[in-house]
Amino acid sequence: MSDQRKPLVKHIFTADPSAHVFDGKFYIYPSHDLAHECIDNDRGDEYAMEDYHILRMDSPESECVDCGEALHMKDVPWVSKQMWAPDAALKDGKYYLYFPARDKDEIFRLGVAVSDKPEGPFTPDPDYIPGSFSIDPAVLQDDDGRYYVYYGGLWGGQLENWCSGAFDENDHGPSGDEPALGPMFAQLSGDMHSFASKPKHLVILDENGDPIRAGDEDRRYFEGPWMHKYQGKYYLSYSTGTTHYLVYATGDSPDGPFTYRGRLMEPVIGWTTHHSIVEYKGRWYMFYHDCEMSNGINHQRCVKYTEIFYNEDGTIQTVHPYGDQ
């Protein structure tokens, strides 16, 4: 039986897991941390990922299988380095892998690759999605058949460098009491290869209906958006970055506004927190990562999972990753 809150695989370092149920099985789309010597910085240069390995679990009780390399940066013409956190979607029998990477000018963009199988291999488009930028794409298939992508990360993810509408490496975004930046949102086109709507920032509100402030580091958006639906509500969850929480907000529409509801998970070992939430046979699971396997080395992470539970009012019980196993 699979042991929850233990590394899914140990032969490679994996992080940023986006989990889906395809064909009745869990498919997990993580990034692949390389073991190397480096110094951490705010740009995230220590995260030198080059490829993707898709993981599979036949059920929550099954062992996890590494399906092998699904895509490498050498096969993506526009990429220069750092293929970070991906996600995947299924439409009309085709599987679409969405991923961020630095282009030849070292600006983060979003790419898409296609396969006939959930584990790949994936064939990438020759160029990045027009109008895309930043990191951490997450795709929601809504009940009406529309697909939406959520993305964006501060600091190394360059989200704040686009406040003027064009890339400006000197733009540091809002601070203090100014409204915080939310993640980006766009509808995907029918062929899944481009944006069907102009991307926009989502608004996250506090309990009084006011925008969360940039200085509110316990609640403001930093990176790693994920969207799921529960009992008709949209749940936007994300990482606070500097304070290392996973938190969530809810709304009545895929593009918000969203109201902050609470903490999803307390801090894990390591700096970053990145997750996904998926339903399997009426039960809900959260996939995430920490640095326990590497004794705290931030760029050598391992993917884990745990079951999560909803209260009657729709709030989610906070996960304590090491204290209530």
Q: What is the pLDDT of residue 267?
A: 97
Residues 57 and 304: their CA atoms lie apart, in Å, by: 12
Contact, 93 vs 22, CB < 8 A?
A: no
Q: What is the pLDDT of residue 3?
A: 59
**Can you read off the two tokens belonging to residue 34?**
């390389």
40 classed as catalytic = no
Q: What is the pLDDT of residue 44?
A: 72
242: pLDDT strictly greater than 50: yes
Q: Token pair 């999605």 is at which residue?
A: 129
What band does 38 get if pLDDT is binned at 50, 70 and 90?
confident
39: pLDDT strictly greater than 90: no
Catalytic option among 119, 223, 290, 292: 223
Residues 174 and 7: their CA atoms lie apart, in Å, by: 37
Chain centroid, CA 192 distance in Å: 18
197: pLDDT strictly greater than 80: yes
What band does 142 get if pLDDT is binned at 50, 70 and 90?
very high
Cis peptide before 257 (omega within 30 of 0): yes
CA-wise closest residue to 298 among 49, 79, 9: 49
Residues 123 and 111: their CA atoms lie apart, in Å, by: 11
Residues 173 and 244: their CA atoms lie apart, in Å, by: 20
CA angle at 223 for the pair 80 and 227, rounded to the nearest 5°: 110
Contact, 32 vs 53, CB < 8 A?
A: yes
Chain centroid, CA 258 distance in Å: 18
User: What's the predicted TM-score (pTM) here?
Assistant: 0.96
Q: What is the 3-state secondary structure (H, E, C) of 199-254?
A: CEECCEECCCCCECECCCCCCCCCEEEEEEEECCEEEEEEECHHHCCEEEEEECCC
What band does 43 get if pLDDT is binned at 50, 70 and 90?
confident
Domains of the chain: 13-308 (2.115.10.20)
How would you classify the pairing of strands 184-187 and 147-151?
antiparallel
Catalytic option among 16, 33, 46, 119: 16
Tell me the pLDDT of the chain averaged across its residues: 95
Integer CA distances (angstroms), 300 to 13, 28, 32, 85, 287, in order: 6, 18, 9, 14, 17
Integer CA distances (angstroms), 112 to 21, 97, 121, 195, in order: 20, 5, 13, 12
Residues β-bridged to residue 316: 310
Cis peptide before 121 (omega within 30 of 0): yes
- DSSP-derived secondary structure for 91-122: ETTEEEEEEEEE-TTS-EEEEEEEESSTT---
325: pLDDT strictly greater than 70: no
Residue range 296-311: mean pLDDT, rounded: 95
223 classed as catalytic = yes
Residue range 215-234: mean pLDDT, rounded: 98
Question: Rounded to a whole number, what is the largest CA-CA distance in the chain?
Answer: 51
pLDDT tens per residue across span 149-185: 999 999 999 999 999 999 999 999 999 999 999 999 9
